[in-house]
Structure formats: C-alpha cells, structure tokens
Amino acid sequence: EAEVAQSPRYKITEKSQAVAFWCDPISGHATLYWYRQILGQGPELLVQFQDESVVDDSQLPKDRFSAERLKGVDSTLKIQPAELGDSAMYLCASSSIGPGQFYEQYFGPGTRLTVT
Amino acid sequence: KQEVTQIPAALSVPEGENLVLNCSFTDSAIYNLQWFRQDPGKGLTSLLLIQSSQREQTSGRLNASLDKSSGRSTLYIAASQPGDSATYLCAVRRRDTGGFKTIFGAGTRLFVKA
C-alpha cells in the first residue's frame, strides 16, 4: 500500500540552529501539505502545494520557515533559526483530486522536533 | 472563519460499549469532512470521509454521519475494544481562494478499558 514518507522521525536541535524535514508524498498525488501539531491540539496547516506551486502559506512564519517542492514531487520544510516554541510534531500529507478521491488526505508518520 | 470543536475532549469507557464522538463546525458551506485516528506520537490514519452531499459513511464498526445544516458530524463506534484507544480528529474542508482549506478539531482522546 502506498504511503507518505517522512524523515527524520525525530530531531533534537538547539535553539538558533537550522533544521530541515523531508517528505515524499504518495506517487501521483499533486497536493502536498505541511502541518504543525502542538501536543494536545489538532494539526494546523503551514503550507499547501499544488504540484510545485504554493497555494496557501498564510500560516507559515515566513521570517524563519521556508518550504519548497521544486519538481512537484518531494518537499522540504526548513526552519532557521529554530526557537523553543517550534517544538512540535511536523506532519506531511498528500491528496489527489482524481476520480473518487475528493482531496482525501493521507498522512506520513511525522517528525517530532524538540528544540533545547 | 471556520471553527471546529470536538466534544468531549477525553472519554473513558469499558470494553464492549457503543460510543459517539461529536464534531461541530461553524460554517456549513463545507466540501467534505474527514475523520482520523491518531495513536500517541504517530501520524494520522484516515477512517472515513463524507462528502457534503452525503449523510453517512460506514466502515466496519465505524459509522460517521453528517448534518450540514446544523453544523454537526458524529462518529459512532460499535462494540469498542481496547485497540480503539487513540485520539480521534475530525477535519472540515471548504473551498477557498486558491483551492481548498482544511481545519482540524483538537480531537477526542478515547480510552477503552479491558
């Protein structure tokens, strides 16, 4: 069964350092999402791609966060510099608008970030 | 602005009990609604997706209903098992400039006692 891949699964970094997360969506899924989930809360959308284009980054803290999906397949989310408040689970998801799909989202295992 | 609320925040039930989890949303102009399960420290697993034109969806012991006019969805779990212990999240999707926007509730933490 096709899955969304993410790496690393866990990351510990010191504040002010740079950190990067990688996501490989399900093959053929044109839409890719990055979410941040703080413990005890629901995921919050950071950025959404349609192919290689950003369609929503309204909640992305652009002074320190950046995201790219250069070839419209895999994607990288970067934080520089990391702050203590960035400690959270970072989730990647993908979806398709193909027949019977209706943007149903499939999630990867997430990356747990701890900033010390 | 769409807001999604899940009640209760936490629930503990004995094994075998039937239970209902609730999700309410403020804007009824939705495209679809999706229920997820999340185990501690893990990603989200899709359970059921209901299109705005549908009233319910079923998968095994799970049944999700949607009442757009009242802004509510319920997830019914029949004959609960300890393996059902997890956090259940609902997500509402609506059309927005540039595509679709997804808003999640904070989830209901379920514990099924053996």
pLDDT for A8: 97
Q: Nearest C-alpha of chain B: how many angstroms from A64?
A: 23
pLDDT for B81: 97
pLDDT for B97: 75
* Single-letter amino acid, residue A89: M
pLDDT for A1: 66
Residues facing B51 on adjacent strands: B32
Closest by Cβ to A110, choosing from B31, B43, B49: B43
Q: Over 70: is that where the pLDDT of B91 sits?
A: yes
pLDDT for A77: 98
Interface contact flag, A104 B89, Cβ < 8 Å = no
**Tokens 């997890």 belong to residue:** B86
DSSP conformation letters of B66-110:
EETTTTEEEEEE-S--GGG-EEEEEEEEEEETTEEEEEE---EEE
Interface contact flag, A56 B49, Cβ < 8 Å = no
pLDDT for B96: 79
pLDDT for A104: 86
> HEC profile for B2-60?
CCEEEECCEEEEECCCCEEEEEEECCCCCCEEEEEEECCCCCEEEEEEEECCCCEEEEC
SS3 A54: strand
Interface contact flag, A107 B44, Cβ < 8 Å = yes
Closest by Cβ to B49, choosing from A42, A43, A104: A104
Q: Are strands A53-56 and A44-50 parallel, antiparallel or unpaired?
A: antiparallel
User: Which residues of chain B make contact with A42, given a CB cutoff of 8 A?
Assistant: 4, 89, 91, 104-107
Q: Over 80: is that where the pLDDT of B105 sits?
A: yes
B39-59: pLDDT as tens digits:
998 999 999 999 999 999 999
Over chain A (116 residues), the average pLDDT of each successive run of 10 is: 91 97 95 95 94 92 94 95 97 83 87 97
Q: Which residue of B has its CA nearest to A104?
A: B49
Kindly report the CA angle at B42 between A53 and B44, in degrees rounded to 5?
55
